[in-house]
Amino acid sequence: MKLSGTVLTKLADLAIDAATAAGEMIARSRPKEIERKSSGGSLASQVVTEVDRRSEAIILETLNPTLKRFELGLLTEEQPDDGGRFSADYFWCIDPIDGTLPFIEGTPGYAVSIALVRRDGTPTIGVVYDPVGATVVHAIAGAGGFRNGRPWDLQSSSGTVLSLFTDKSLLSSEERDQITTVLEEIARDMGLTGLHVDASAGAVMNACKVLANPHACYVKLPTQNGGGSLWDYAGTACIFSEAGAVATDIYGQRFDLNRADSTLMCHRGILFATNESLAQRIRALLLSNL
């Protein structure tokens, strides 16, 4: 069953309401309890706070009624994957707080992310709420991308540096020199003054920062363990598609947003870029060294 444009608009409005309510609660909160929920992957994937769970409860209060009415599945970070995403034509994909580490530290870089994804992995709705800036960005497939309800146009090409927005884990990883060396070479070839690295945010806000800059990217090399999950990228993938920017794996293929064998996303790497020309440069140089 394909949902009509009218239904998608209604569902997007509900997702915006849910993300905004959760985000406003997050903006008023500080974590009192920090738990370890797993022993693998990055620190960011291991920690959860009671605010994450409160955010999820607020979101589900709004979205749960849509599950039966529109026969939707549900995948959310803080609950076990029940497999409903493989039988429903669409499923909600929810990250109640992406960027838990910045949230714990009290620094910008965290957000609420909600997506509606088709069973074939195509993102059809993407909603991001930034509690620090009280800003909502959303997109509906075929209807465009919006920032605070207004069409969101990409920046002009007048910037002087190439920006890399990335996770803190990159700074201490073996990938750091490989990625930054490639991007410094690309910056020189583009006639830019250099490479600016920002490792202050989680995956969702990293992607939004890419869209807010004229020459920017977010890159993760392929790995079989960790590296982000479906809910980290589903919402922004839809927003990037509607903004005319690039959200693919490192090989240029679309994200596998309904991966059958895992919810992890970095098995083929991650690449967000402001335009295809920049994405092609990054792919060419990185893949030649993989």
What pLDDT, on the 0 to 100 scale, is given for residue 159?
84
For 174-202, write each residue's pLDDT tens digit: 889 999 999 999 999 999 999 999 999 99
Res. 227: pLDDT tops 80: no
What pLDDT, on the 0 to 100 scale, is given for residue 277?
96
Q: Residue 134: left if φ>0, alpha if ψ -120 to 50, beta else—which one? A: left
pTM: 0.93
Dihedrals φ, ψ of 206, to 5°? -60, -45
What pLDDT, on the 0 to 100 scale, is given for residue 39?
45
For 70-90, write each residue's pLDDT tens digit: 999 999 998 999 999 999 999
Name the average pLDDT for the chain.
Answer: 91
Give 3-state DSSP helix, strand, coil % of the chain, rounded to 5.
40, 25, 35
Res. 41: pLDDT tops 90: no
For 239-278, write each residue's pLDDT tens digit: 999 999 999 999 999 999 999 999 999 889 999 999 999 9
What pLDDT, on the 0 to 100 scale, is given for residue 226?
62
What pLDDT, on the 0 to 100 scale, is given for residue 155?
61
What is the rounded (10 degree) CA torsion for 47, 52, 54, 55?
-170
For 90-103, write each residue's pLDDT tens digit: 999 999 999 988 99
Q: What is the mean pLDDT of residues 9-25?
A: 98
What pLDDT, on the 0 to 100 scale, is given for residue 217?
98
Q: Are strands 144-147 and 150-151 parallel, antiparallel or unpaired?
A: antiparallel
Res. 214: pLDDT tops 70: yes
What pLDDT, on the 0 to 100 scale, is given for residue 43?
46
What pLDDT, on the 0 to 100 scale, is given for residue 44?
52
Instruction: Report how far residue 22's alpha carbon sits from residue 28's, in angstroms, rounded to the nearest whole number.
Output: 10
Res. 135: pLDDT tops 90: yes
Q: What is the mean pLDDT of residues 144-165?
A: 86
Annotate 109-156 with DSSP letters as a single string: --EEEEEEEETTS-EEEEEEEETTTTEEEEEETTTEEEETTEE-PPPP
Res. 157: pLDDT tops 90: no
Res. 19: pLDDT tops 70: yes
What pLDDT, on the 0 to 100 scale, is given for residue 131?
97
